[in-house]
Structures are given as structure tokens and as C-alpha cells.
């Protein structure tokens, strides 16, 4: 059963931004089970990220759209597997999180995040 983090939950998550992802506590079930996935997309002029943050224990999640700035992900297992059909997966969060948990299990997530070289 999926549940979206509400405003208050997201505030609690935001307050933990300084700690590593794997040490953050889920504000709904109190488990240390946070996972994240980033998909890079090319918006109008600058690279952006679609971000999913979810709890592996209770499957609460939130999604956001942010500027990638100088960060880039070194791999995107979802894009590798689904290519152009990735939009269909994003439209179905229940399926999405199931797939992402699978990637986590096999070590394809979490992604390595690096700095974008200048001039790109
Ligand atoms: Zn949880």
C-alpha cells in the first residue's frame, strides 16, 4: 500500500538532509529505511532531476523535480531497462517502487553522484 509523505513528513525528512541517506528515519514508521532514486531529464535549458525518496519498510514516498545544477548521476538503471518507456513507469508509483527496490537489492542503487565537469 503506497502512501505519499505529507507536508509535515517532508519537513521531518528535510531536517535530516545532513545525514547519509541510509541513516535517515522514516517519519511515518520510524524505520531507518530511506532510499532515493534520481532520473536526469533535460528540461528547457538546464538538466533537471526527477527525484523519488521512499521508505523500504512502509513504502511511503515523495517525488520532486529539482534543478540538477552541477550534480549528475553516473548510472540510471531504470533508463537502461526501460528507455523511452520510462514515463509509463513514473505514471505507476506502485510498480516504480517495486522495480527500484529490486535494483536496490541487486546493487544497482543507490546511484553514484558526481560533479558535472565545467562546460557541459
Ligand atoms: Zn516508513
pLDDT digits (tens, 9 = 90+) for 1-24: 789 999 999 999 999 999 999 999
Q: What are the residues facing 50 on neighbouring strands?
A: 39, 65
d(CA 109, CA 44): 28
pLDDT tens for 71-100 read: 999 999 999 999 999 999 999 999 999 999
Domain boundaries, the chain: 3-115
B/e letters for 101-117, b = 16+ CB within 10 Å, e = fewer, are eebbeeebbbbeeeeee
Task: Compute, in angstroms, the gap from residue 84 CA to the centroid of ligand 1.
Answer: 31
Ligand 1 centroid vs 111 CA: distance in angstroms? 21
For the segment 53-69, the average pLDDT, to the nearest whole number, is: 94
| CA 10 / ligand 1 centre spacing (Å) | 12
Separation of CA 40 and ligand 1 centre (Å): 25
Distance CA(62)–CA(60), nearest Å, equals 7
Distance 3 CA to ligand 1 centre (A): 10
Amino acid at each position: 500500500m503506497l502512501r505519499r509523505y505529507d507536508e509535515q513528513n517532508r519537513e521531518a525528512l528535510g531536517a535530516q538532509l545532513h545525514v547519509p541517506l541510509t541513516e535517515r528515519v522514516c517519519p511515518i514508521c520510524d524505520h531507518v529505511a530511506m532510499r532515493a532514486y534520481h532520473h536526469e531529464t533535460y528540461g528547457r535549458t538546464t538538466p533537471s532531476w526527477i527525484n523519488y525518496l521512499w521508505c523500504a519498510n512502509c513504502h511511503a514516498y515523495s517525488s520532486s523535480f529539482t534543478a540538477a545544477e552541477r550534480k549528475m548521476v553516473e548510472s540510471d538503471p531504470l533508463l537502461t531497462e526501460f528507455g523511452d518507456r520510462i514515463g509509463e513507469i513514473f505514471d505507476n508509483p506502485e510498480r516504480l517502487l517495486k522495480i527500484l527496490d529490486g535494483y536496490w537489492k541487486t546493487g544497482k542503487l543507490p546511484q553514484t553522484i558526481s560533479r558535472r565537469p565545467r562546460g557541459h
